[in-house]
Structure 1
Amino acid sequence: MPVRKRVEAFVDAVVNGDHGEAIANFYHPDASMQENREPPREGRDQLIVHEQAGMRRIQSMITHQPEAVLVDGDHVAIAWTFDSVGKDGVTRRLHEVALQEWRGDRIARERFVYDSATAWQPVSSPDNSKD
């Protein structure tokens, strides 16, 4: 079961931008991640490779402070907002809830829940800012 300070350290690592490093430091070697109801990706090394590949496809990622972080024993829920700035300069936003199962002080399983119809919709472009 994670202590709240450990969960907060994970949140800080993600907000500060190096998602691959956060995976390396906070996930079990046999951890899994799952997008909505898609098949899970398995193994920390593969999770890092997948994350790094995604980051190479964009210009930058802005991770906002979570709206909520709930810790209940081995279960953690985090309400995230991410802004992805594409190589085309367009900013797209994702609101998601990460449902995590921790084993000790590391994440063993994580499932991301979001509305796929509104995921990564543009919120601004180089020519026209929208909020």
Structure 2
Amino acid sequence: MPTPDTIERFISRVESNLHAEAVEEFYTADACIQENQSLPRIGRNPQAARERVMLARTVSATSQCVRPVFVNGNNVVIRWIFHFEWADGSFTHMEELAYQRWEGERIAQETFFYDPAQAVPQKR
């Protein structure tokens, strides 16, 4: 079960747009990450690399935790709002719920729930 301090440090990393670093610090080596009903992705290192590639395409990013954070034993639910400005002038604004299962102080499984229409970049 994660401590409240660990959860707060995780949230702080993400809100600082250190997404890849948050994955490296807080996920198990064989973490399972899934978006909606898509196939799960396995592994901390591939997920961290994916985050780096995504953030490298941004001009700016904002990541915000909307409180409260729900914790029940090893299960944590965080509501996030993300705003990404892309190099081509488009933007993506997303709100999602992250359902996490922690093993001690690390995330072993995470499923993101969001409306897929939000993932389509919008033009100004």
Question: What 5-or-longer segments of structure 1 have no aligned partner?
Answer: 126-131
Identical pairs, percent: 36
2:45 matches 1:45: yes
Secondary structure at the aligned position of 2:116 is classed as coil
Q: TM-score under structure 1 normalisation? A: 0.87
Deviation at 1:118, TM superposition (A): 3.4
Give the structure-2-normalised TM-score. Answer: 0.92
Could you tell me which residue of structure 2 aligns to residue 24 of structure 1?
Answer: 24
Structure 2: 5+ residue stretches without partners: none
> Could you say what the CA RMSD is over the residues aligned between the two structures, in angstroms?
1.5
Show the 5 A alignment for 1:59-78. Answer: 59-78=59-78
Contact conserved, 1:15 with 1:65, CA < 8 A, in 2?
Answer: yes
Distance 1:16 1:93, change over 3 A: same
Q: Secondary structure at the match of 1:100?
A: strand
Higher helix share: 2
The answer on whether the counterparts of 2:76 and 2:101 sit within 8 Å (CA) in structure 1 is: yes
What letter matches 2:92 in structure 1?
R
- Please state whether the residue corresponding to 1:39 is helix, strand or coil: coil
Q: Which amino acid aligns with 2:97?
A: V
How many equivalent pairs are there? 124
**Per-residue deviation, residues 82-115 of structure 1 (Å, max 9, x unmatched):** 0010102333200000000000000000000001
